[in-house]
Amino acid sequence: MSITLSAVNLKKNYNDVAAVRGINLEIKQGECFGILGPNGAGKSTLLKMIYGQAIPTSGDLFVLGLNTRDQMTEIKARIGVVPQDDGLDTDFSALENLKLFATYFNMEKNSAEARAEHLLHEMKLADHQHMHVEALSGGMKRRLVIARSLLHEPQMLILDEPTTGLDPQARLWIWNYFEKLKVQKKTIIITTHYMEEAEKLCDRIAIVDQGVVLDVGTGPELIKKYIGTEVIELEVEDQKNYWTSKIKNLDIEFQEFESKLFVFFASIDQRQNFLQHIQNAHYLIRAANLNDVFLKVAGYQIRGEA
């Protein structure tokens, strides 16, 4: 598969804030590539450099074989963008928003209108096409922005938290829609705070924090590497100190999370041994998932709190 995006020591400073601090990345043609990271990690800044809303401070960034430094117009014509903030024009209806956007791509009027109507239908917005954007629900707005990103039939999609704020049904429906775009071999770059979304859609995932890529791999690779196959969630309540020192003595890996300890095992023997020690405790055994990886790699503290 050919490389369709490459970032080389890419950096972005906003005055004295280093939002992206040297990212190296290669994304393949037709791949669905996920970017995970806590609030403020630099995900949106990275995407903004890809779609030309932020200019890199240094480093190189090539998109679809074109240099973002001087070929941004060509890049913009070939990528579809769902920004984190919708950027819809609230003075206009859903359909008018799409028609207005089509003018930026010099689309012929009749074909733009036909394409807009088709996409509104696809996004289940046909009945709301004449409604003012202000009157649409959050989920409808998000679907409208997805329709907008597809207007000019882009080769690559840049999706910044496309399903944030949607109800579970709408999210499932949109995932299903993205699966169809994957079948069409469109390259998709997506950020999300929903680990399930990343696990379901993404061929590979980068974990980003404080402006750098901490690791890249497929979901199963990352889970195997950092966690293993299983996690035991041990409920410790007011006996946290007792349990943490006990598990440390057994030389077993664990993470504290509120009143629970998440325990991971290097071997089946270690797991069996641990089960002997917790016979009378409250615990749950479950499959390891990407959430465990994220919490382990990017840490448990909430960003923005002291």
Ligand X SMILES: Nc1ncnc2c1ncn2[C@@H]1O[C@H](COP(=O)(O)OP(=O)(O)OP(=O)(O)O)[C@@H](O)[C@H]1O
Residues lying near ligand X in the complex (CB under 6 A) are found at 14, 17, 19, 37, 39-45, 84
Residue 85: helix, strand or coil by DSSP?
coil
Which residue of this chain has its Cβ atom nearest to Mg ion in the complex?
Answer: 44
Q: Which does 17 bind (CB under 5 to 8 A by kind): Mg ion, ligand X, none?
A: ligand X
- Any contact of residue 192 with Mg ion (CB under 5 A)? no
Considering CB distances under 5 to 8 angstroms, the limit depending on partner class, which of Mg ion, ligand X, none binds residue 3?
none
Residue 45 touches which member of Mg ion, ligand X, none, C-beta under 5-8 Å by kind:
ligand X
Q: Which is nearer to Mg ion, 69 or 303 (CB)?
A: 303
Q: Which is nearer to ligand X, 22 or 40 (CB)?
A: 40
Exposure of 261 by Cβ count < 10 A (0-12 exposed, 13-18 middle, 19+ buried)? buried
Q: Taking the complex as a whole, how short is the minimal distance between the CB of residue 288 and ligand X, in angstroms?
A: 24
**Interaction of residue 44 with Mg ion, rule CB under 5 A:** yes
Residue closer to Mg ion by CB (options 41, 63) is 41
Q: Which two tokens stand for residue 8?
A: 């080389």
Which tokens belong to 262? 């998440």
Least distance from C-beta 47 to ligand X, angstroms? 8
Tell me if 194 sits within 8 A of 166, measured CB to CB. Answer: no
Nearer to ligand X, 15 or 169 (CB): 15
Nearest Cα to 247, choosing from 228, 234, 229, 258?
234
Cβ pair 131, 94 in contact under 8 A: yes
Instruction: Name which of 84 and 244 has its Cβ closer to ligand X.
Output: 84
- The 75-104 contact track toward Mg ion, x by CB under 5 A, reads ---------x--------------------
What residues have CB less than 8 Å from 302, skipping those under 6 apart?
Answer: 38, 39
Q: Which backbone phi and psi does 28 adopt, to 5 degrees?
A: -90, 155
Q: How far apart are CA 177 and CA 132, in angstroms?
A: 24
163 binds Mg ion (CB under 5 A): no
